Amino acid sequence: MYLFYILLFGVSLLFGCDHQPPAMVEEGAVAQRPDYGDTLLMGSIGEPSNLLPVLASDSASSDINGLVYNGLLRYDKNLQLEGELARSWDISPDNLTITFHLRNDVRWHDGHPLTADDVLFTYRLLVDPAVPTAYADRYLQVVKAEAPDPFTFRVTYGQPLASALVSWMFPIHPKHLLEGQDVTRSPLARRPVGTGPYRFMEWKSGEKVVLEANADYFEGKPYIHRVVYRIIPDPSTMFLELRSGGLDLMGLTPLQYARQTDNLAFKRRFEKYRYLDFSYTYLGFNLRRPLFQDVRVRRALAHALNKQELVDGVLLGLGTATTGPYKPGTWPHNPHVKTYEYNPAKARTLLAEAGWQDTDGDGILDRDGRPFAFTIVTNQGNDARTKSGEIIQRRLQEVGISVKLRVIEWASFIKEFINPGDFDATILAWTITPDPDAYAVWHSSKTGEGELNFIGFKNAEVDRLLEEGRHTLDQDQRKRIYGRFQEILAEQQPYIFLYVPESLPVVAKRFHGIDPAPAGIMHNFIHWYVPNDQQKYQR
Amino acid sequence: MFAQITKRLIMMVPLLLGITLISFVVIHLAPGEPTDLQTQLNPEVSSELRERLRAQYDLDKPLIVQYGKWLGRLAHLDFGESFVQDRRPVAEKIAERLPVTIMINLLSIGLILLIAIPLGVLSAVRRNSLFDRFTTVFVFIGFATPSFWLALLLMDFFGVRLGLFPIAGLKSLGHEYLSFGRQIADVLHHLVLPVFVSAFGGLAGFSRYMRGNMLEVVRQDYILTARAKGLSEWVVIYRHALHNALLPVITILGLSVPGLIGGSVIFETIFAIPGMGKLFYDGVMMRDYPLIMGVLVIGAVLTLVGNLIADLAYAMADPRIRRR
């Protein structure tokens, strides 16, 4: 990306004083410079719900909003924070105040200049009780927000908040179009106006959303002229569309990746990518149940499972077995925690220590006349979780534990099993956020009904670490805090962390400039291009 | 006649009220709420926020109050606003999906009638012939074939391998740049596979029904009379028998009026067609109460009206009924 700027700069220096017609400049540089033009067709399973980011919470909306809007900050390709609308930012020595210095060359798609008032307005939207947004909590911690001049925005917190910076990645909304209106009725929900690299063109419900390159984008006009999100609800149809040329980019399932695209005809037309996804799947135990209160039992279960077998069987090898709640290879991840190798004999020994033995010879362990039997619940519609459940069921059967698997429709699953804590064990997944704060999932204050620590995990040291971690800004210090947190989780095994799946995008070969990185492939989308002679769509 | 229609129309009001009340209660009995999608298992959402969202949708009020409010709006023909995040008027969302669904259903019913009536008549006329047996097997294969499976096979063969038909959606990418005639051709081109798949499954019912009617009619005395008069077999079958055998079809068509707006989720999902089936299914999955109720009310009204129209049309076509 920086290379690109240097190159452009050099070209203008060379020809700048000669008053050459611009066409000549382009011809001179054509060997190095990517071509503009062409359309990228992207497949989306779901229809976006709302293109005002403050109201949307689905992935289809946020994919589109990501191209239409900008935040003050963003992650670079290595998941480090960098400025987007903010040129730079300062943090006060007491870690309470952040001052953002905004770029002064940014315009909304309607030509209106972006100022700090827009940022202040976005903050007010997020904390306005009348706005039905799911994002208010982090911004409610701000005690003072101000815009001392048109290109400076300053926020002050009551106590240092580690995720404060990350929270300013939130898309900035246009004040001049939304002020004084009921945002829930704003036409911008269907016709967004942002500052991003692509401007909104049209949205045909259930059919497509069309975006076009923003020629005034402050980082330069994107090369790909148009992006079309086609809404295709069925993954098989989407795959057929891809093969027939009706799509240029989609996410594959492991089965499609491993078995259905491994032929020359496909490889000639498409490039496949794989990188670790931002989520982990786990088997969580309800620690309120006497069955799982003994840590020896949880460790025994960990020894009884073969995580690699799950990765191979369920994900066809397209994923990695995991030991904790962070993505391997990122800074919060601690690779040195206690691991539990697959060892059924050891599992049986540990269970015997905890008093579980097969006294009546029926193949099922028992203690005080009660058999070791429990039910794993998971939600319907996620094939990988169901399959994992079946493999786990079989492995536990082998050490003498009888497991039932129940698959339940999502809403009932949450309302009747997870929220009231009425389950033995569950297979679920969490999103891994680049910021390691895990307070909501692991702190002992979050065990109430409907809260996220639904397994009832309580550990005084973890509580202390999580409190400290979310108020510490220094990354090395946080690495130590969350490293220790992972050690405790590994020792306690409240979850058996199973695997991190891989994201498996596929892109048509004519697109060049793709740079796979820890952040995925979309981070440099505005620099993707199609050479003139390969362009498919002229208009 | 007029008095009878008025009476039927008045009777429909309490019936409709009953239908809406039962629907309203039943959908609220299902676990889960519209706000769940936004708030459940979301680490960024606190319980106060959850309550605040619920209050915005009136979900914290007793069910009877919610029903009253909904009914009040319905009295002004207002279906309310969708509970999903786009908050668009339900009427608008339905209006957007309705034309496509009606078009596909009309085309598919048309195609079914076009094929099933001659098929049924011929099988009746040549009862137990090779043709009859072959047709029977054929239409039942159609009946038994899962539509999603057939659709995927056809898409793979005609779309990917032969490249003859587009795979999904209703319009090509450059649709808006085409001339009007080309636009229609483009949509029809996209409709070939979906209409074929949806008609294929419906052949069995209609053709069997037609065959049964025809067999019934052919046994009647007036057919014997016609034959005795020395009329040609063609005239006997197609003028005298067919007319009478078609009468009950009116009733079936009347009953299929509500079916015109009800799409099929599986079918629409596979072909990526933005129709009513998918709209309703997504509404149910997200517990979008106003949308669910809107679709149900329209369905209920059409069912009742369809029945009425079928009865009236039957009376018009068949003098025996009119006299009573």
Q: Is residue A273 part of a domain?
A: no
Q: Does A189 touch chain B (CB under 8 A)?
A: yes
Size of the A and B interface in Cβ pairs below 8 Å: 139
Interface residue A268 vs chain B (CB under 8 A)? no
Q: How many residues does chain B have?
A: 324
| CA nearest to B41 within chain A | A452
Q: Do B86 and A190 make contact, defined as CB atoms within 8 angstroms?
A: yes
Which residue type is seen at A42?
A: M
Would you call B47 and A190 a contact, using CB atoms and an 8 Å cutoff? no
- Domain assignment of residue A492, yes or no: yes
Average pLDDT over chain B, rounded to whole?
84
Asked if A134's CB is within 8 angstroms of B42's CB, the reply is: yes
Q: pLDDT at position B322, please?
A: 65
- What is the per-residue pLDDT for A90? 93
| CA distance, residue A278 to nearest chain B CA (Å) | 15
pLDDT in tens, B115-131: 988 888 888 888 888 99
Is A266 an interface residue toward B (CB < 8 Å)? no
Q: B130-144 and B90-125 helices cross at what angle (nearest 10)?
A: 160
pLDDT of B240 strictly over 90: no
Whether A465 is in a domain gets the answer yes
* Partner B, chain A 71-90, Cβ-Cβ below 8 Å: none
- Taking residues A11-16, what's their average pLDDT? 33
Render pLDDT for A434-485 as a digit per residue (tens, 0 to 9): 889 998 899 999 888 878 899 999 999 999 999 999 988 888 999 999 999 9
For residue B102, pLDDT over 90 is answered with no
Q: Which amino acid is at B18?
A: G
Give the pLDDT score at A19: 37
Residue with tokens 């002064």: A104
Q: Please answer whether residues A403 and A374 qualify as being in contact, where contact means their C-beta atoms are separated by less than 8 angstroms.
A: yes
The residue in chain A having the minimum alpha-carbon distance to the alpha carbon of residue B149 is A236
Q: What is the pLDDT of residue A27?
A: 40
Put simply, whether A57 touches B (Cβ < 8 Å) is yes
So what's the pLDDT on residue A32? Answer: 60
Instruction: Report the percent of chain A where pLDDT is more than 70.
Output: 94
Residues B34 and B289 sit within 8 Å (Cβ to Cβ): yes
pLDDT tens track for A121-165 = 999 999 988 888 878 888 988 999 999 999 999 999 998 888 899
- Short-list A35, A31, A29, CA closest to A527: A35
State how far the alpha carbon of A233 is from the alpha carbons of A62, A207, A223, A528, in Å: 17, 10, 29, 26
The closest CB to that of A240, out of B43, B88, B160, belongs to: B160
Residue A228 to residue B173, Cβ atoms within 8 A: yes
B183 in contact with A, Cβ within 8 Å? no
Give the whole-angstrom CA distance, residue B171 versus residue B183: 8
What's the CATH number where A315 sits? Answer: 3.10.105.10
B278 contacts A233? CB cut-off 8 A? yes
Tokens of B124: 């009746």
Whether chain A has a CB inside 8 Å of the CB on B225: the answer is no
Higher pLDDT, B266 or A277: A277
Query: For residue A525, is pLDDT > 70?
Result: yes
- Would you say residue A479 lies in a domain? yes
Over range B303-307, report the average pLDDT. 84
The answer to the question of residue A353 being in a domain is yes
Chain B residue with minimum CA distance to A538? B174
The answer to whether the Cβ–Cβ distance between B85 and A185 falls below 8 Å is no
Judge whether residue A13 has pLDDT over 70.
no
What is the pLDDT averaged over residues A205-209? Answer: 88
Q: How far is B118 from chain A (nearest CA, A)?
A: 34
* Helix, coil or strand: residue A231: strand
Q: Select from B49, B86, B274 the Cβ nearest to the Cβ of A207.
A: B274
**Which of helix, strand or coil describes residue B314?**
helix
Helix (H) or strand (E) holding A98: strand A97-102
Mean of all residue pLDDT scores within chain A: 88
Q: How confident is the model at residue B32 (pLDDT cuts 50, 70, 90)?
A: confident
- Summarize pLDDT for A394-418 with one digit per residue, the tens: 999 999 999 999 998 887 888 888 8
Under an 8 A CB cutoff, do B287 and A411 touch?
yes
Continuous H helices in A198-327: 235-243, 254-255, 264-269, 295-304, 307-314
> What was the pLDDT predicted at B261?
75
Name chain B contacts of A448, Cβ cutoff 8 Å.
47
pLDDT digits (tens, 9 = 90+) for A96-124: 999 999 999 999 999 999 999 999 999 99
Q: Which residues from A are below 8 Å from B85, CB to CB?
A: 49-50, 55-58, 61
Contact A244 B167 (CB under 8 A): yes
Taking CA–CA distances from A450, the nearest residue in chain B reads B40
How far A184 CA sits from the closest chain B CA (Å)? 7
Please give the backbone phi and psi of residue B173, each rounded to the nearest 5 degrees, phi first.
Answer: -60, -45
- B95 CB within 8 Å of a chain A CB: no
Q: Is B194 on the interface with A (CB under 8 A)?
A: no
**Per-position DSSP letters for B220-257, written without gaps between them:** SHHHHHHHHTT--HHHIIIIIIHHHHHHHHHHHHHHTH
Residue ranges making up the domain that contains A491: 279-502
B167 vs A: CB within 8 A: yes
Q: Which residues of A touch B169 (CB under 8 A)?
A: 207-208, 230, 232, 246
Check if B49 contacts A (Cβ < 8 Å).
yes
Rounded mean pLDDT, A191-199: 95
Nearest CA in chain A to B51: A132
* Position A538 in a domain: no
To the nearest whole Å, the CA of B31 is away from the closest chain A CA by 5
The answer to whether A20 faces chain B, any CB pair under 8 Å, is no
Q: CA distances (Å), A120 to each of A41, A153, A390, B317, in order?
A: 35, 7, 51, 71
- Total domains in chain A come to 1
**DSSP-H helix ranges across B57-179:** 63-75, 90-125, 130-144, 147-154
The answer to whether residues B264 and B104 touch, using CB atoms and an 8 Å cutoff, is: no
Q: Which of A27-36, A525-534, B70-79 has the lowest mean pLDDT?
A: A27-36
* Residue A533, number of CB atoms within 10 A of its CB: 7
Distance (Å, whole) CA A328 – CA A337? 12
Q: pLDDT by residue (tens digit) across B75-92?
A: 888 888 888 777 788 998
Instruction: Name which residue leads in pLDDT, A285 or A137.
Output: A285
A408 interfacial to chain B (CB closer than 8 Å): no
Residue A432 forms part of a structural domain:
yes
pLDDT attached to residue A454:
92
> Is the model's pLDDT at B323 over the cut of 60?
no
State how far the Cα of A103 lies from the Cα of A109, in Å rounded to an integer. 16
| A56 at B interface, C-beta within 8 A | yes
User: What is the band of A26 on the pLDDT scale with cuts at 50, 70, 90?
Assistant: very low
**Residue holding tokens 């018009």?**
B316
Mutate to test the interface with A, among B52, B85, B153, B269 (most CBs of A within 10 A): B85
> Given a cut of 70, is residue A5 above it in pLDDT?
no
Read off the pLDDT band of A25 (50, 70, 90): very low
Residue B137 or residue A133, greater confidence: B137
pLDDT of res. A4: 33
Largest CA distance in chain A: 96
Q: Do B160 and A244 touch (CB under 8 A)?
A: yes
SS3 string, A508-531, reads ECCCECCCCECCECHHHHHHCECC
Q: Which residue has the higher pLDDT, A71 or A49?
A: A71
For A498-515, the pLDDT digits (tens) are: 999 999 999 999 999 999
Are B195 and B111 in contact by the 8 Å Cβ rule? The answer is yes
| B308, containing H or E segment | helix B289-317
Q: Which of B41, B45, B279 sits opposite A137 (nearest CB)?
A: B45
Residue A286 lies in a domain: yes
Terminus-to-terminus CA distance in chain A, angstroms? 27
Asked if residue A351 lies in contact with residue A294, where contact means CB atoms within 8 angstroms, the answer is no
Does the pLDDT value for residue A12 go beyond 60?
no
At B169, the pLDDT band (50, 70, 90 cuts) reads confident
Asked whether A337 and A323 are in contact (CB, 8 A), the reply is: yes
Shortest alpha-carbon distance between residue A539 and chain B (Å): 8
Judging contacts by C-beta atoms under 8 Å, the chain A residues touching residue B287 are 411
Global ipTM? 0.78
Closest chain B residue to A57, measured at CA: B38
B8 reaches A (C-beta below 8 A): no
